[in-house]
Amino acid sequence: MKYSFILVVSAYIFACQHADGEETTTVSFRSDIAPMLVDNCLACHGPKKAEGGFRVDTYDELLKPGDSGESPIAAADQESELLRRLVSQDPSERMPAESDPLTATQIGRFENWISSGGKFDGEKSNLPLALVIPPVHYANPPEVYRQSVPVTAAIFTPDGQEIVSGGYHELLVWNVMDGKLVRRIPNIGQRVFAMAFFPNGNKLAVGCGEPGRSGEVRLVNFESGNVDAVLSRINDVVLDLAFRPGTSELAIASADSTIHILDVETLQDIRTIASHADWVTAIAWSDDGTRLASASRDKSAKVYDGATGELITSFLGHGAAVRGITLLADNKQVVSVGADNKLLRWEIEGGKKVAEVGIGSEGFKLMRRGTNVFVPCADKRLLRIDLGNNSVSQEFKGHADWVLTSCLRADESKPLPEQIMASGGFDGELRIWNLENASAISHWIAKP
């Protein structure tokens, strides 16, 4: 055992020496160790699944012994259980289990870090590793796009004068009335799927990522355009975001089948909800923040207690993936829509369906205002559903491709048409609508 370990570490030291014989600089926990833990260890040793009672999801947890009672990061004159497991030749002990062993270079970095004291070089040792790892700085987007990017998310600025859409590794800010590009905010994930302004309007949470590979929530200072923090990182894209009314709590719906809730001001994880069996496609808080609802590709919709995350009810009335969801103002009913071409209205208590509206095609994320719900549809329409009589009251026509998202102007007192909304399509088109008569105020392809 010890001989194998010496061979591995020796190989690392030899590989890392410079031509003049000097060794490389000290290994960093943030830059070197934490990424390896996330890539190779977190799946089996995280807060939801802690094999052998051992967790690596934070630096503080990494220092705690598992069921064996052995210290993972021991003093210099003692054997560290973490290293012993990494170099073990016994398949029942070697980590990572049921996977290829780490390379000599990777193991050498662990040895270097531990022998140097196993120190933490971040700000808060109790933060999840995803928040400890230095954020990636993405390459600048192209000056001119060869082709359009699907508008999977759009949001009005707090003053209602501009609208933000996602580009390729950037946010694009447009003038609402004439569609002119106002500015570009780079250093964003490859695709943007959700956005939510912080309650005071000075920061924008951006859910983004590369489908099937990575996802994150970036907190953007909207005035400066700088990325202030990466709030969450997962192994697939973030699909929806929602701030809990009156708080700094942000709910994050992800393609990893989980809902994460964190405090944007303190960067602390509040809870993780793992109730769905597939992508969580949409989330929504009740108006008073006491309830949280979610939609999923697993054909279910769910409602949770907003304070505890406890599951209140599951609704299984959809026959296909559920794409959008919203709670009504009375906190007693929910409206959801999905790939079964139906908008369903159901009761939280008991999960009983009370109304059904055929929409003619697949629907996506819902937007509610008062007793009206707006539904982007795959048949190129945006629908307005009157919940007073559970029927389609308005059709917004003009898109040439799937309508994927919609948003409402928050402040109706500004000098724009009395009520306006926007919708984004798969072909990259943004449309601004007058709600009174469903006429288009302006429209353009949202690409530089």
Cα–Cα distances in angstroms (integers) from residue 399 to residues 92, 343, 427, 432, in the given order: 58, 21, 9, 11
0.85 surpassed by pTM: no
The pLDDT of 238-266, averaged and rounded, is 95
Share of the chain above pLDDT 90, in %: 69
Is a pLDDT exceeding 50 seen at residue 168? Answer: yes
Rg (CA), the chain: 25
Q: Are 28 and 121 in contact (CB under 8 A)?
A: yes
CA–CA–CA angle 131, 133, 139 (5° rounding): 105
Under 8 Å CB-to-CB from 219, ≥6 apart: which residues?
Answer: 198, 203, 204, 205, 206, 227, 228, 229, 230, 231, 264
pLDDT digits (tens, 9 = 90+) for 219-234: 999 999 999 888 888 8
In one letter, which amino acid is 301? A
Element counts in the chain: helices (H) and strands (E)? 6, 28
**pLDDT tens digits, residue range 387-433?**
999 999 999 999 999 999 999 986 545 444 568 999 999 999 999 99
Mind listing the pLDDT tens digit for each residue in 19-63? Answer: 344 445 689 999 999 989 988 898 889 887 888 899 998 999 999
Which residues neighbour 110 within 8 Å (Cβ) at sequence distance 6 or greater? Answer: 33, 36, 82, 83, 86, 102
Cβ-contact 357, 388 below 8 angstroms: no
b/e code 100-115 from CB counts within 10 Å (16+ = b)? ebbebebbbbbbbbbe
Residue 10 confidence (pLDDT): 36
Give me the phi and psi of 183, to 5 degrees please.
-165, 170
Cβ neighbour number for residue 401 with a 10 Å cutoff: 15
The residue length of the chain stands at 448
Domain ranges of the chain: 2-126, 154-445
DSSP secondary structure code for residue 330 in this structure: T
CATH topology of domain 154-445: Methylamine Dehydrogenase; Chain H (2.130.10)
Please tell me the distance from the alpha carbon of residue 392 to that of residue 390, in angstroms, as a whole number. Answer: 7
